[in-house]
Amino acid sequence: MTDTLFSKIINREIPADIVYEDDLCLAFHDITPQAPVHILIIPKQAIVKIADAAESDQSLLGHLLLKARVIAKEQGYEDAFRLVINNGSAAGQTVFHLHVHILAGRQFNWPPG
């Protein structure tokens, strides 16, 4: 996998407003927030997109979701938040390093745009 913007953020080659980090993942504020809270949580292991995840990534993917829940709570949104994973360009993915969007702080509609 080639270097992406997000691997550069992991390696501190470009700055980000980091809110959480552990051995497996990093979470930081989105540069173009789509809600009052818009944080991205990414695995440090470079997975291009969710469609490329392997069975062996099961615990890592679970870790991302559970930490997303903790981060939403820390931001003051325990009960209402939205998690989004865009997979592939046609679904809106623009950075090809798997990431979960954590969105909160406004009303969200369904179906999404």
Active-site positions read 99
What is the three-class DSSP state of 103? Answer: strand
Residue among 62 and 92 whose Cβ is closer to ligand 5GP = 92
**Smallest separation, CB 51 to ligand 5GP (Å):** 13
Tell which one of 75, 95, 105, 108 touches ligand 5GP (CB under 6 A). Answer: 95
The H helix count followed by the E strand count for the chain is 2, 5
63, amino acid identity:
H
Binding marks (x or -) toward ligand 5GP, 12..41, rule CB under 6 A?
----x-----------xxxxx-------x-
Owner of token pair 């504020």? 29
For 26, the enclosing helix (H) or strand (E) is strand 25-29
CA separation for the pair 28, 14 (Å, rounded): 12
DSSP state string for 28-45: EE-SS-SSSEEEEEEESS
Q: Is there binding between residue 5 and ligand 5GP (CB under 6 A)? A: yes
Q: Per DSSP, what are the bridge partners of residue 52?
A: none
Binding status of residue 92 toward ligand 5GP by CB under 6 A: yes
Identified binder of ligand 5GP from the candidate list 94, 107, 110, 111, rule CB under 6 A: 94
Contact residues toward ligand 5GP (CB under 6 A) are 5, 16, 28-32, 40, 86, 92-95
